[in-house]
Amino acid sequence: MSRLVFGVNPVLEALRAHPEKFERIVLAHGARPHAIGEIESRARKAKIRIETAARERLDAASEGGVHQGVLAELAEFEYAELEDLLEPADAPPLLVLLDGIQDPHNLGALIRSAHAFGASGVVIPQDRAVGVTAVASKASAGATEHCRIARVVNLARAVEQLKSANIWTAAAVVDGDKLPWELDLAGPSALVIGAEGAGVRPLVAKTCDFRVRIPMAGALGSLNASAAGAVLLYEAMRQRAGKR
């Protein structure tokens, strides 16, 4: 089973990460946005088939997404196992668990932040949550091709597994009793971000070691999932940089 990736950055990052997974690349007639040259060069070097087609064909394939004149067909996305994210590394693990994110744009933005701020990987549930789609890949600017993403059957059970591995877990909730800088995110840590609107489910939040809130100066009571994730991940990166 294959998957689609569209947009200049997602296709280019996929080429950089694993050209062997490409089946073909389709360019819109006359499309010459910045970096198309590198895409073509890398594709030819990897002996990937390049086709051209009417822009309307790409519009239909991407279901109205912003494809920038390029899309690619790749082998099916390979999810990691949770254990893979716990493998020894140069720094203590920093994981992001997403509790029921439904919007692929939010998922992509969170994966992009996780990769940018040095997370070891992202964990998502198999059910009642969006997976790595073409839209999520586009929203991540190609980070889905570099960030390890695991899918689990039960998120609360995954939290318990992380705790057994001596990883501190913190759920982002509006009524949390901890502030981000009061947590020790320089050590082995996992941040749990809830779904749009519903937030972290009570059982999952109860399973975590801590409940953290992001203080707000304005009139709004909370941030959306991707913004909250970015704030907490930046705090983790800040703490880790201070320990080096």
Mean pLDDT of the chain: 92
Q: Are residues 143 and 116 in the same domain?
A: yes
Q: Are residues 54 and 165 in the same domain?
A: no
Residue that the structure tokens 């990883």 belong to: 167
What domain range includes position 92?
Answer: 82-243
Q: Are residues 225 and 129 in the same domain?
A: yes
Instruction: Give the per-residue pLDDT at 4.
Output: 92
Q: Can you give the CATH number for the domain in which 12 is found?
A: 3.30.1330.30
Longest pairwise C-alpha distance within the chain:
56
Instruction: Give the per-residue pLDDT at 176.
Output: 94
| Domain boundary, last residue among 43, 75, 107 | 75
Rounded Cα gap, residues 137 and 143, in angstroms: 7
Q: Are residues 112 and 201 in the same domain?
A: yes
Over residues 166-191, the pLDDT tens digits come to: 999 999 999 999 999 999 999 999 99
Q: Is the pLDDT of residue 220 over 80?
A: no
Q: Are residues 219 and 191 in the same domain?
A: yes
Instruction: Give the per-residue pLDDT at 197.
Output: 82
Q: Are residues 32 and 130 in the same domain?
A: no
The number of folded domains in the chain is 2
Residue 60 φ/ψ, nearest 5 degrees:
-70, -45
Q: Is the pLDDT of residue 46 over 80?
A: yes
Residue that the structure tokens 């198309």 belong to: 36
Range list of H helices, the chain: 8-17, 36-45, 55-61, 104-116, 134-139, 155-164, 202-207, 225-243
Instruction: Give the per-residue pLDDT at 32.
Output: 65
Q: Is the pLDDT of residue 68 over 80?
A: yes
Q: Are residues 102 and 42 in the same domain?
A: no
Q: Is the pLDDT of residue 12 over 70?
A: yes
Q: Are residues 28 and 102 in the same domain?
A: no
Instruction: Give the per-residue pLDDT at 21.
Output: 95
- Mean pLDDT is lowest, of 111-115, 156-160, 215-219, for 215-219
Q: Are residues 67 and 122 in the same domain?
A: no
Over residues 149-160, the pLDDT tens digits come to: 999 999 999 999
Q: Can you give the CATH number for the domain in which 220 is found?
A: 3.40.1280.10
pLDDT band for position 206 (cuts 50, 70, 90): very high
Q: What is the mean pLDDT of residues 95-108?
A: 95
Instruction: Give the per-residue pLDDT at 218.
Output: 77
Over residues 14-35, the pLDDT tens digits come to: 999 999 999 999 998 876 656 6
* Angle value at C-alpha 68, between 142 and 20, nearest 5 degrees: 45
Instruction: Dig out the tokens for 235 from the structure.
Output: 């705090």
Instruction: Give the per-residue pLDDT at 85.
Output: 93
Over residues 50-67, the pLDDT tens digits come to: 999 998 998 898 888 889
Instruction: Give the per-residue pLDDT at 242.
Output: 80
**What are the Cα distances from residue 43, in Å, to 7, 130, 140, 180, 208?**
15, 30, 22, 44, 45
Query: Which pTM was predicted?
Result: 0.91
Q: What is the CA radius of gyration of the chain?
A: 19
Q: Are residues 209 and 187 in contact, defined by beta-carbon separation less than 8 angstroms? A: no
Q: Are residues 171 and 122 in the same domain?
A: yes
Instruction: Give the per-residue pLDDT at 63.
Output: 82
The strand pairing partners of 228, in sequence order, are none
Q: What totals of helices (H) and strands (E) does the chain contain, helices first?
A: 8, 10
| Domain boundary, last residue among 50, 75, 100 | 75
Q: Are residues 210 and 184 in the same domain?
A: yes
Please give, one letter per residue, the 3-state secondary structure of 51-91. EEECHHHHHHHCCCCCCCCEEEEEECCCCECHHHHHCCCCC
Q: In a 3-state reduction of DSSP, which class is residue 1?
A: coil
Q: Are residues 55 and 88 in the same domain?
A: no
Beta-carbon contacts of residue 30 (< 8 Å; ≥ 6 apart): 69
| Domain boundary, last residue among 49, 75, 101 | 75
Please give, one letter per residue, the 3-state secondary structure of 186-229. CCCEEEEEEECCCECCHHHHHHCCEEECCCCCCCCCCCCHHHHH
